Amino acid sequence: MIKVYGKENCPRCVELKLTLEDKGLEFEYLQDMKQLRIAASKARVMAAPVVEYNGEFLAMEKFLEEVK
């Protein structure tokens, strides 16, 4: 399962959601600042969105490289 941690008014979050939908990938979108901070800390990134995929927390760009 793909989990996307995002925030309100985040253009990158919208972009990632649209990309996942276009690829036909199922995902859960979570918009909770506390969960986003925890996920970002685990991914060692400072920007939303953060993706949880195969047990790893990834920045959007790293995730997109893995699911090409």
3-state helix, strand, coil in the chain (%, to 5): 45, 25, 30
Q: Mean pLDDT across the stretch 17-34?
A: 96
- Taking 90 as the threshold, does the pLDDT of residue 38 lie above it? yes
Q: Mean pLDDT across the stretch 4-17?
A: 97
* Global pTM value: 0.93
Q: Looking at residue 68, what is its pLDDT?
A: 81
pLDDT band at 56 (very low <50, low <70, confident <90, very high): very high
Average pLDDT, rounded, for the chain: 96
- Taking 90 as the threshold, does the pLDDT of residue 21 lie above it? yes
Q: In whole angstroms, give the CA distance from residue 9 to residue 23.
A: 23
User: Domains in the chain and their CATH numbers?
Assistant: 2-66 (3.40.30.10)
